[in-house]
Every structure is written in structure tokens, then in C-alpha cells.
Amino acid sequence: MRKDLDKGKYAAFTGVVTDMFASTFGSMFDKEISISLSDAYSGGADELMYGYESQTAVSITEEKSGFDAGLFFYTKDITMLAALMLMMDSEGTEELGEDDPDAIKELCQQVLSSLTVPIDERLGKKVSFKVDDVLKNENSALFQSESYFIADMKFTIGDRKTAMRFFMDEDLLSMFSGKSSGGAGSASDEEPDFATAFTFPDDPDDAMNDPISSMGGGSVSGGQNMDMLMDIDVPVSVKMGSTRMFLKDILTMGSGNIVELDESADEPVELVVNNKVIARGEVVIVDGYFGFRIKEIVSRAERLKKLKD
């Protein structure tokens, strides 16, 4: 049975979630992304599934407590974003394809990882969310908790207005019901009033276009925190090949020795970003420095294979 919550009690937590979901999605795609809170309440499995039957469910575990959580998306929306992450242009599909669950799992893990630091800084709570599975939402037996905290969000992707749902065991939510720890990012020790924690949308038609009934929340632009993300360093390297050697052979190496790699001379070298191969090409010389000329962006299938590794 649905139960309305004292929303002011959890305003800080829901604010972090909408803010970081919007900024992380916005930083990943060349589309304008906005996410705003539409409604927040508690309920059992039936209330949890309502409106997202046969759509995509992402099951999540909070690793420190073991409580379950999750995300619901309309399948056409999340398959479109998964394709964009893999540099494919698609409007999305009504059913999950064979490769879609792995791409969605990686996408959602990146978004959930963005919550860890701001929740710790603003609320003084350490959490770690891990994606367990991506599946079609058609069996309420998947959701075992007696009561869930449910946050419905308006989700705008470019010109597409849609919705998404974040949920978690209500016992886990109780971690965030107390006063803020006063750490970095906390303006005061008092919980903000829910009604003033969000700005209201300028577009009066938002509520009419929302797939889920709106209680009137504000929007957080995905590009709002882009400047903060643009200066993050990621390791980029060029891999020409590799080999395995006995330790005794390494200890006897000296000047002039040649180490034979497992790649032939006519095979392309790989561009590796954050330990993932994203392209292949050739080494060139530019003004006396080594450079890399891209000849091939790796295929969707190969990128998915590496996500599984």
C-alpha cells in the first residue's frame, strides 16, 4: 500500500540523487539531460512496479548494508542511452537486445558511483551501490522488502520527455533521515524544507507531459556541473603489444636485449582510455614527438566484450 512520506525529512538525500544523476548523465552524452523529482513515497512491490510493467529493471545492492535498491527505465529510453554510450545513434528499442544488458549495467554503475562522494560529503554517510542485474520488469517476486522508498523523476533527454524511478529498501533510507553531519557541502545542521529544496520548472506543460503524475519538482540541468567534470584526468596510453616472461629472464636483461611482443609488426596498435581499448590506429611522428592516428573505433560487440571482462 502506498504511503506518503514526510518529504522534508529526506530532502537532502533526494536532492543529491537528482543532482548527481543529472550531472553524470549529462557529462556522458552529447544531449541535454535534465532530471527532477516528481514524487516520493513508500510502498510494496505492487506500488513499486506500477507504471513500469514489462519495462527495464536494474537491480542494485548497497554493499555495506546488503539492502536492495534499483532503477526503472522505459526500455526505449535506456536502450537509446546504452547505444549512445557505445557511440551508436539509435532511438532505442521496445525490447532489450542480446547486448543491451551489459551496456546498461556499465552505464548505471557509472551513474551510481557518482553518488558515493556527495552523499558522504553532504550527509556524512558512506554508501556503495553495485549493479547486480538488468532484466525485464515482469515479476514482483524479485522485490523482497516489505516497504520501499520510491522516487519518481521526470527525465528529459534532448527533446524526449519521459520518466525514471529510483527505489531502495525503506530501512536503508532511514540512514538519511537524521540531521546532516555538517561536513563539506552542508550549509547547516538542519534538514532543508522539501518544498524549497527544488526550484519549480518554468514550463507549465511539464506536469501534463510527465508519464507519472507530478507533484511539481525542480529541474537540475545535466550540463550544470560540466565544468567540474571537464578537468578530470583519465589515463590514456598506446599499447603496441605485450608478452609474458620468467622473472629469471627479466633479471638477466641488459642493454641491447630485444623483448619480442605478441603482436606482429603489421597489426594496428591500440588506444587505451581508462584501461579500455576504444580505438586502433598507427603510430606517427608529429614535430619530433610520437603521436597516434586513429583508423578504427572498436565495434559495439568488442566494446561490450571488454565491459564483461
Q: What total number of domains does the chain contain? A: 2
* pLDDT score of 214 more than 50: no
Average pLDDT over the chain reads: 78
Question: Do 105 and 217 belong to one domain?
Answer: yes
**Last residue within a domain, chosen from 198, 227, 256:** 227
User: What pLDDT was estimated at residue 217?
Assistant: 42
Question: Do 244 and 179 belong to one domain?
Answer: no
Q: Which residue has the cell 603521436?
A: 291
Question: Do 219 and 288 belong to one domain?
Answer: no
Lowest mean pLDDT among 5-9, 127-131, 149-153, 173-177: 5-9
Give me the percent of the chain exceeding a pLDDT of 70.
77
* pLDDT score of 195 more than 60: no
How many CA atoms are closer than 13 Å to the CA of 137, on its beta-carbon side?
24
Q: Would you call 227 exposed, middle or buried from its count of C-beta atoms within 10 A (0-12, 13-18, 19+)?
A: exposed
The maximal CA–CA distance of the chain, rounded, in angstroms, is: 76
User: What pLDDT was estimated at residue 202?
Assistant: 44
CB 216 within 8 A of CB 210: no
12, amino acid identity: A
Lowest mean pLDDT among 111-120, 133-142, 167-176, 220-229: 220-229
Question: Do 62 and 183 belong to one domain?
Answer: yes
Question: Do 173 and 291 belong to one domain?
Answer: no
Question: Do 222 and 281 belong to one domain?
Answer: no
Beta strands in 208-308 (DSSP E): 220-221, 236-239, 269-273, 276-286, 289-297
Which structural domain range is residue 71 located in? Answer: 3-227
At 288, which CATH number?
A: 2.30.330.10
| Gap between the terminal Cα atoms of the chain | 41
pLDDT digits (tens, 9 = 90+) for 80-131: 998 888 778 889 999 999 889 998 998 999 889 888 888 888 788 888 899 9
User: What pLDDT was estimated at residue 230?
Assistant: 63
Of 69-73, 181-185, 188-192, 256-260, give the range with the top mean pLDDT: 69-73
Position 296 confidence tier, pLDDT thresholds 50, 70, 90: confident
CA–CA separation, 148 and 171 (whole Å):
8
Question: Do 71 and 179 belong to one domain?
Answer: yes
The model carries a pTM of 0.59
Q: Would you call 45 exposed, middle or buried from its count of C-beta atoms within 10 A (0-12, 13-18, 19+)?
A: middle
Position 79 confidence tier, pLDDT thresholds 50, 70, 90: very high
Distances (CA, A) of 154 to 84, 163, 217: 20, 5, 9
pLDDT digits (tens, 9 = 90+) for 19-46: 889 888 888 887 888 999 999 999 988 8
